[in-house]
Amino acid sequence: MEEQERAARAELAAARRIVVKVGTSTLAYGPGRMNLRRIEHLVRELVDISNAGREVILVSSGAIAAGLGRLGRAEKPSSIPEKQAVAAIGQGMLMHIYEKLFAEYGRTTAQVLLTKENAVRHNQYIHSRQALLALLAMGVIPVVNENDAVAVDEIKIGDNDTLSATVATLVDADALIILSDIEGLYTANPQTHPDAQLIGVVPEITPEVERRAGGAGSSLGTGGMSTKIEAAKIAMNAGATMVIAPGGHAGVLARVLAGEAVGTVFPAKESHLRLRKSWLAFGKRIEGDLCVDRGCEQAMRAHGSSLLAAGITSCEGDFAAGSTVRVLTEAGQEIARGTVNYDACVLRQLIGRQTSEFPTLLAGQDIHEEVIHRDNMVLMV
Ligand SMILES: Nc1ncnc2c1ncn2[C@@H]1O[C@H](COP(=O)(O)OP(=O)(O)O)[C@@H](O)[C@H]1O
Ligand SMILES: N[C@@H](CCC(=O)OP(=O)(O)O)C(=O)O
């Protein structure tokens, strides 16, 4: 193993929050013929990862394949409305299978259906992120798919490889593992180039790497390697280490997460928190200032605590929720900056108030315990 690969594999072994994506080609033998043995193994492995103390989210394809089975069809529909209808039929069936299997291991799952809008609109981004983080905090293993029934044209992500990278970005995952019907990325599509070689590590997505990645190998899959390379670009830039690994091998997730040389690894460019925090600190316009009292200043400096309304003494500026603001001491020294969860008007009502008072003060509005969550804040001194 070369040094770059060794370092990336070590990151995988240390990963605490993991997104696993499984493609149709792994989940089904053919249209409508779900591979229940594989799905069972997958659920067992996911529960095991979670039991070992890591957080895990599954991004699962397979809705269209399952829907085709129920309709007794062998061909993917060609029109978009028909695809949407078939996915709507199959999604329920898919969740029924997951629900049953997770329950067998005493675990709870949850269906989360997303579109591109949820990732690019700030409010929806925050809400989807918070919902997923709340599920993880409850010990739930969420199952994510694209909301195929509503996602067309500009709000459609279109393939679950890119969707899984978006989810990894949304929750600041440490790792993204894409399970497919092949060992990993080869120097060329092995279906057409039998002498192609498996690549262990891809340190950077160059035009040459993009050329090597071809389309889907079966009538089941969408996008083939090219959408997985797109996913790698997103994941690597967001600070998540990505792996393409063979979904058909029992125990593959455990091996990847033990840092073994399985599949192809794409090393993260930066620690996601460092990346996001440097963007927060230097990449965003400052829209307002919040002054805090001495106790709050100490909690933030000594423990990196989130900013709560009780410690705020004044609020300057006319900003929207999601803006970047500075946090200042009473003497005007900047302690931190971060993304605020409330707009300035609402925030002025919360100054000096306890979180327990929020339901009364904010009747009918979105409630966030923190004014700025510690993950969305960078200390400046
Ligand atoms: N360079 C490559 N290396 C490996 N597989 C490739 C390559 N180019 C194209 N492929 C094809 O990509 C397929 C995997 O993608 P896809 O069929 O979309 O599956 P999934 O349902 O897992 O997303 C492989 O089976 C293979 O035929
Ligand atoms: N949302 C669709 C999957 C789309 C997709 O990207 O499929 P795949 O290439 O098998 O991961 C479904 O559930 O059928």
Q: Where are the domains of the chain?
A: 3-269, 276-379
Average pLDDT over residues 160-179: 93
Q: 63-115 pLDDT, tens per residue?
A: 999 999 999 998 888 888 999 999 999 999 999 999 999 999 999 999 999 98
Q: 108-134 pLDDT, tens per residue?
A: 999 999 987 777 666 677 788 889 999
Is residue 222 in contact with ligand 1, taking CB distance under 6 Å?
yes
Q: 174-183 pLDDT, tens per residue?
A: 999 999 999 9
CA distance 83 to 220: 13
Report the candidate in 200, 168, 164 with the shortest Cα–Cα distance to residue 184. 200
* Domain 276-379 = CATH 3.40.50.1820: no
Q: 254-294 pLDDT, tens per residue?
A: 999 999 999 999 999 866 556 566 666 666 788 999 999 99
Q: How many CB atoms lie within 10 A of CB 103?
A: 12
Ligand 1 nearest-atom number relative to CA 27: 21
Contacts for 90 with CB less than 8 Å, ≥ 6 apart: 62, 63, 64, 65, 66, 67, 68, 69, 70
Is residue 146 in contact with ligand 2, taking CB distance under 6 Å?
yes
- Considering the segment(s) 3-269 as one domain, its CATH architecture is 3-Layer(aba) Sandwich (3.40)
Point out the annotated binding site for substrate.
Answer: 61, 148, 160
Asked whether residue 35 carries a pLDDT value surpassing 90, the answer given is: yes
Under a CB-based contact definition with an 8 Å cutoff, are residues 105 and 47 in contact?
yes
Which residue among 21, 24, 178, 228 is best mutated to probe the pocket of ligand 2, counting the most ligand atoms within 8 A of its Cβ? 24
Question: Cα separations (Å) of 16 from 73, 104, 211?
Answer: 41, 24, 33
Under a CB-based contact definition with an 8 Å cutoff, are residues 200 and 243 in contact?
no
Buried b (16+ CB within 10 A) or exposed e, 104-125: eeebebbebbbbbbbbeeeeeb
Structural tokens at position 164? 């899984």
- DSSP-derived secondary structure for 215-249: --SSSS-SSHHHHHHHHHHHHHHHT-EEEEEETTS
- DSSP-derived secondary structure for 362-377: TTTS---S-SB-GGGE
Q: Examine domains 3-269 and 276-379 and report if their fold is the same.
A: no
Residue 177 CA to ligand 1 center (angstroms) comes to: 15
Residue 32 CA to ligand 1 center (angstroms) comes to: 20
Structural tokens at position 319? 């900003």
Residue nearest to atom 24 of ligand 1 (CA): 217
Is residue 189 in contact with ligand 1, taking CB distance under 6 Å?
yes
Point out the annotated binding site.
Answer: 21, 61, 148, 160, 180-181, 222-228
Alpha-carbon Rg for the chain, nearest whole angstrom, is 22
- pLDDT, mean over the chain: 90
